[in-house]
Amino acid sequence: MKIKTIIDLLEAEVLCGEDMLEEHVYSACGSDMMSDVLAYVKEQAVLLTGLINLQVVRTAVMMDMKCIVFVRGKNPPEEVIELAKECGIVVLRSPERMYVACGKLYENGLRGGGVDEE
């Protein structure tokens, strides 16, 4: 799925990374606990979260993610967006709740690829 498709599905706004919207992503995860993302997630390209601090970007970098979607209309501080720009990560903001956002992406073919799906 292209990142621009995620934007359409989640009615998302692009906060940074406009030049990477044609990138393909093949999996996603949703969590507000970055320790769970680090412990249980592998090969994820998109992170959906309501957490809006620098740790989200650092976690995405460690996990080689291409895109962060802040759900529930959360507005991350400018320092979060700046770090994501430096790291080459697309940042989106969606008004959808996490459960609905994850469901829409799953319904349209974006899967998890987590540990229990091996």
Break the chain into its structural domains and give their ranges. 3-113
Question: pLDDT tens, 41-52?
Answer: 767 689 999 999
Question: pLDDT tens, 58-92?
Answer: 999 999 899 999 999 999 999 999 999 999 999 99
- At a CB cut-off of 8 Å and minimum separation 6, what does 11 contact? 94, 95, 96
* Domain 3-113 bears CATH identifier 3.40.1390.20: yes
Q: Are 50 and 60 in contact (CB under 8 A)?
A: no
pTM for this model (two decimals): 0.91
One-letter identity of residue 19: D
